[in-house]
Chains A and B, each alone.
Chain A
Amino acid sequence: MSDEAPLALFGYASRFSVAPGETITFHISGENVREYETKLVKLRHGYDGRGTPGFLEEEQESEMNGHYAASNFRCALGSYVEIDDRDQQLRPDAELRFGVIFYATTPERGRQGLLGAWSESEAAGYALLIEEGRLVFRLGDGQEVAELRLGQELLSHTWYAASARWSGADGSAYLTLEPCGTRTDRAMPAASVPQGGERRERVSGRPVPAESTPFRIGALSTLVAGSGLACAHFNGKLEHPWASVTRHTRTTSAIWDFGVSDRPDGLLLDSVTDVGGAGLHGRAVNQPTRGVTGHNWTGLVDDYRAAPGEYGAIHFHEDDLDDLWWPEAFSLRVPEEMASGVYAARLRGPNCEEHVPFFVRPAKGASHNRVAVLFPTGSYLAYANDRLPFDAPGAELLIGHVPVLHRDDLELQRHYDFGHSCYEVHSDGSGVFYSSRRRPIVNMRPRYRAWFMADAFWQFPADLAIVDWLEAQGIAWDAITDEDLHRDGLELLEGYAVVLTGSHPEYVSASELDALEDYVSSGGRLMYLGGNGFYWLVSYHPLKPYLMEVRRSVNGARPHQPRPGEEFHATSGERCGLWRNKGRAPQRLTGVGFTAQGFDRSTYYERLPDSYDERAAFIFEGVGDDERIGDFGIMGGGAAGAEIDRFDTALGSPPGALLLASSVGHSDDYLRTSEEIFETPPGLGGTEDPDVRADLVYFTLRGGGAVFSTGSIAWTGSLSHNGYDNNVSRITGNVLRRFLDEQPLG
């Protein structure tokens, strides 16, 4: 492809979900675009392939409609800690001592700031940094620069202690490096021979930071438009940074303990505490990873709150991101009469178009419809901007065919600055734990096609298939999101007769799972129209609700896993991982749980004896006894495919549940999920393993609640087949209409 940047518009909204009376703001950046037109649209169907309803949007009258001037905004990636030094205590004129314990993960790559107040553009200040794989102490006053550089090549994934000193009295400078020799270095210290070193010189330069240069840990600065922007980001862990600065005969000593929380709950969020007594506290920017092991981690404790002294490190990445901070382009105060649903700000410029989707939910306490669709925005975040076909050698192997890319994928490839999905690894190989919605999410566009499903859809557009199906059925409904449910809990669901899930609600928080269990246990009726749901535990940053954390765990179908001892979420204190590993397998809630995945093609269900039980008769009205269910569809040609779930009483499928139908004919690209494989037996593929299947399950609960589950991501891709006249649509409609009927279920 040409490297020439095409015309493009990108944007994000201040929130996923907004209620009447609330305001949502939009943040837009144009590339080679001077002006664009904004129109509010209501989204009804996204996928625009042949034989489907096509792309359906309805233009809306709105105060935000109009023409706007476009500006281009930068994306500032990379995490660091910035110290609030408003009294300029860290600007030496007589004596400077500072240091840090570090664990570099890419020491060979470029220039990386460890700590200090150094401006690259002004050649002023002081810093410890890594350059060309070696430790450097640099200082300067804007006129003259001096540096001490050690000859030892730093080993990656190895703990060292570094410190530096400058004396204004005699101009002497000193730099020292000492391997920590820990038992968690990548290789045994005796085997890898990490070397220390020291250097002492008289220098004529002085460490005089420019006015605009803050003291940073994990990055240096460069002057842009009057501000010292962060640059030269460090990859790896920093621990126990300290500084002792003498200025005007007064010495200030600061020690930053990254294991110390300033909160009663002990969570490690953005605040960084100076325990040295100088009050020079700091703030973590762009969400580096906290709750990570320090050089002294013993392995006896794995909860950072139980042993803060062993968790005094922060892991910084040059590609961390929590908020792009683009300025507001326009806003919308949602009118009281605006119906709940899926909307977007549609942006049109010359030869380019962008949709920035959002959901309008009913206001608290307002009357609402009897059906709610729970849009899995947590899963949208986990998958946000995934670039696996470019970055993961195993991508083609996993999906069973050559990846089929689309325009959106090429835009993602041009825009690494939009940050990662939680399926990727950082540039230093460590897993991505955080995903933010305050950035463009290119694969959350309504017409996005999934590279791994050969022209089919995934996530947001797959859930729009439910929207158009509901509209076609003439059923009024409301939109709610994971983020709403996490925040409001059961209160959000109360009053709804039926809640429908999206196609792939994989990532849920504890409060969501509690609310859904309480909902069905108190008479609510749940239709789980997807696969691999309720699988991973996620949490949201208590102060930044737009940011989700998922650390995965050491089992489960996962693209990466945390390093040893780093399994507790910094934003919630919970141990990461599968809900199954917390005694809450998805089968408890939905009767089915993740069993296998494959992406070559989908199959269909065959009815089982339970489907002829009179209690299930309503489900199969209009469906033949021997009819194949869902041998058609957008997602690989069938309703049973991609990620699939099975019924299993040992994992919590409720007693008395009806196993209505089960899929057949999966290929060996479908393999049993790894958390169920203890040894290394053969025969775990779809052609041999009877547990590689998607199950259709129905059960009722005391109190009038009920659950219907499809156990397949591909289900929603079959709804629109033949103009909605098909057995997948019929079964889904039969269940929804009966669930809306308040008469007790059989």
Chain B
Amino acid sequence: MSTDPADPVYDRADRRLREQLGGMDLDALLEEHRHHPYGPHSDELARLLTSFRKAGVGGKYVIYSQGDDDGWVIGRLNVRDGRPRIYLETVTVYASSALAQHAVLEARLENLRNPVGEAP
């Protein structure tokens, strides 16, 4: 399998970013996001969110609206046969897209604290 000579550069940047994020008061940032899921956000929270948003398509979170009266659920994208596919987690239904936005951040932070090998 061919590798890009630049891969170690990105790996190093990712490690350093995770170290920086580890130094943040994540509980405080989570609380800020709970109150303002669509912003405005402090510089530190914006930095945290940007780090998650930069990830590639594979494993990325999406929110799916089942209709205004039927709630919002979280999904993830997986690339199969070169095409992204959406896998929805329909057990937990959120009453608003804002609550679903916050649930995604909670899931990402959980993965940051306890990595399981998936993209954040």
B-chain residues with CB within 8 Å of residue A397 when the two chains form the complex: 50, 53-54
Contacts A406-B64, A455-B65; A393 near B86 (Cβ below 8 A): no
In the complex with contacts A389-B62, A393-B56, A667-B39, A401-B101 CB distance below 8 A: yes
Write out, one digit per residue, whether chain B residues 89-110 have a CB within 8 A of any chain A CB (1) or not (0): 0000000010011001000000
Query: Residue A338 at the B interface, CB < 8 A?
Result: no
Q: B27: CB under 8 A from chain A?
A: no
Give the Cβ gap from A559 to chain B, nearest Cβ, in Å: 15
Chain A 383-403 per-residue mask, 1 if CB under 8 angstroms from chain B, else 0:
000000111111011001111
Residues of A within 8 A of B57 (CB): 390-393
Cα distance A636–B40 in the bound complex, in angstroms: 12
Is A50 at the interface (CB under 8 A from chain B)? yes
| Residue in contact with A454 in the complex, picked from B38, B56, B75, CB distance below 8 Å | B38
Q: How many A-B residue pairs have CB under 8 A?
A: 82
Residues of chain B within 8 A (CB-CB) of A416 are: 83
Point out the residues of chain A lying under 8 angstroms from B64, CB to CB: 404-406, 410
Closest 5 CB pairs of A and B: A390-B84, A397-B53, A396-B53, A404-B63, A393-B56
**Inside 8 A of B101's CB, which chain A residues have their CB?**
401-402, 454
Q: Which residues of chain A in 218-232 are interfacial with respect to chain B, using CB atoms and an 8 Å cutoff?
A: none
Q: 10 A-B residue contacts at CB 8 Å?
A: A50-B68, A390-B83, A396-B53, A402-B101, A403-B63, A405-B64, A600-B38, A601-B38, A601-B39, A665-B40
* Contact present for A405 and B38 (CB under 8 Å): no
Q: A402-B61, A449-B65 provided; 6 other pairs, C-beta below 8 A?
A: A1-B87, A400-B39, A400-B53, A402-B104, A404-B97, A405-B75
Neighbouring A residues of B55 by C-beta, 8 Å: 393
A669 CB-CB contact with B under 8 Å: yes
The reply to whether the CB of A668 lies closer than 8 angstroms to some CB of chain B is yes
Query: Does A195 belong to the interface (CB within 8 Å)?
Result: no
> Given that A49-B68, A405-B64, A667-B39 are contacting pairs, would A454 and B84 also be in contact in the complex, using a CB cutoff of 8 Å?
no
Contacts of A389 in B (CB 8 A): 62
- The answer, among B72, B77, B84, for a CB contact under 8 Å with A404, is B72
* Residues in A neighbouring B50, C-beta threshold 8 A: 397
Q: Is A413 an interface residue (CB 8 A)?
A: yes
Q: Is B13 at the interface (CB under 8 A from chain A)?
A: no
Q: Known contacts A50-B68, A403-B62: does B85 contact A1 (CB below 8 Å)? A: yes
Interface residues of B (CB under 8 A from A): 37-41, 46, 50, 53-57, 60-65, 68, 72, 75, 77, 82-88, 97, 100-101, 104
The chain B residue with its CB closest to the CB of A406 is B65
Q: Are B84 and A413 in contact (CB under 8 A)?
A: yes
Interface size classification for chain A = 20 to 34
Using Cβ atoms and an 8 Å threshold, which residues of chain B touch A49? Answer: 68
Most interface-central of A389, A401, A449 (chain B CB within 10 A): A401
Residue from B46, B56, B63 having most chain A Cβ neighbours under 10 A: B63
- A403–B77 Cα gap in the complex (Å)? 11
By a CB distance below 8 angstroms, the chain A residues around B46 are 668
What is the chain A residue whose CB lies nearest that of B60? A396
Bound complex: CA of A348 vs CA of B29, how far in Å? 48
Chain A contacts of B56 at CB under 8 A? 393
A391, B84: Cβ atoms closer than 8 Å? yes
**Which residues on the B side are within 8 Å of A50 (C-beta)?**
68
Alpha-carbon separation in the docked complex, A427 to B46 (Å):
33
Are B62 and A600 closer than 8 Å at their CB atoms?
Answer: no
Closest A residue to B83 by CB, please name it: A416
CB of A390 within 8 A of CB of B77, answer yes
Bound CA–CA A50/B65 (angstroms): 14
Name A572-610 residues within 8 Å CB distance of B. 600-601
**C-alpha gap A392/B54 in the complex (Å):** 11
Assuming A600-B38, A600-B39, A667-B41, is B68 touching A405 (CB within 8 A)?
A: no
A50 to B46, CA, bound (A): 30
Contact partners of A390 in chain B: CB under 8 A: 57, 77, 83-84, 86
The answer to whether B87 and A636 have CB atoms under 8 Å apart is no
Q: Which residue of B lies closest to A403 (CB)?
A: B62
When distances are taken between beta carbons in the complex, the residues of chain A under 8 Å from B38 are 400-401, 454, 600-601, 636
CA distance A636 to B38 in the complex (A): 9
Least Cβ distance of B47 to chain A in Å? 11
Whole-angstrom distance from the CB of A350 to the nearest CB of chain B? 19
Q: Find chain A residues with CB under 8 A from B88 CB.
A: 1
